[in-house]
Amino acid sequence: MKKTGLDAIDIRILGAVQRHGQLSKTRLAEIVSLSPTPCWARLDRLKSAGYIRGYRGEIALERIVDFTRVIVTVSLIHHRRADFDRFEGHVATLDEITDCVATGGGMDYIMTIYVRSVAAFETLMAGLLDSDLGIDRYVTYFTTRTVKHTAPDLAKLAAIPAARPSADTG
């Protein structure tokens, strides 16, 4: 099922922004094979429509500070909406938890946690367990290295052919 009315050029623009962040008008136009003015107008429209949430730099964290990244799966005791809301509300307040996704299947949540040490992780988990969030069980995975970390390929997800040089359209 198609979710939006975006065309191939819109997807190429979004893909370029996803890969490169903020780009000059000229460079973005080169990447998506469109003249600068209509390209910039499309980018403005995509921003206004909320397709671009923001721009970030990818920081080499390991060059700045020693840290421990932990992946934790969590299962709750009960599966009522109020239980999920309470857990999710609490997780949203913790800066150490950088990602938390709800899942179907064996576990209810998968979280990514960044802390300074194993002791800091133990303190964080003790706080979660003491907060009466209804945690039934959790499993901890200490990461050793990143094998792959990329954003999804928008063109493949949207099933739109990759960029091909073509006449300018707006």
HEC string for 64-95: CCCCEEEEEEEEECCCCHHHHHHHHHHHCCCC
CA distance 69 to 117: 9
Q: What is the pLDDT of residues 59-89, one digit of tens each?
A: 899 999 999 999 999 999 999 999 999 999 9
Higher-pLDDT residue of 157, 143 = 143
pLDDT at 27: 95
Phi, psi of 78 (to 5 degrees): -115, 155
**pLDDT category of residue 165 using cuts at 50, 70 and 90:** low
Which residues are registered as beta bridge partners of 161? none
pLDDT for 1: 35
CATH 1.10.760.10 fits 61-142, yes or no: no
Range with lowest mean pLDDT among 4-8, 23-27, 86-90, 111-115: 4-8
Q: List the one residue out of 64, 71, 59 whose CA is nearest residue 144.
A: 71
What CATH number labels 8-57? 1.10.10.10
CA distance 61 to 137: 30
Mean pLDDT of all residues in 137-161: 87
Range(s) within the chain of domains with CATH label 3.30.70.920: 61-142
- What tokens does 60 get? 């080499």
Checking if the pLDDT of 169 tops 90, the result is no
* Residue 105 pLDDT level (bands cut at 50, 70, 90): confident
Tokens, residue 95: 């800066």
pTM: 0.79
Mean pLDDT (the chain, rounded): 90
pLDDT bin (cut points 50, 70, 90) of residue 158 is confident
Residues of the chain with CATH 1.10.10.10: 8-57
- Indicate if the pLDDT at residue 51 is higher than 90: yes
Give me the mean pLDDT over the 7-23 stretch.
Answer: 92
C-alpha atoms less than 13 angstroms from C-alpha of 168 in its C-beta half-sphere: 11
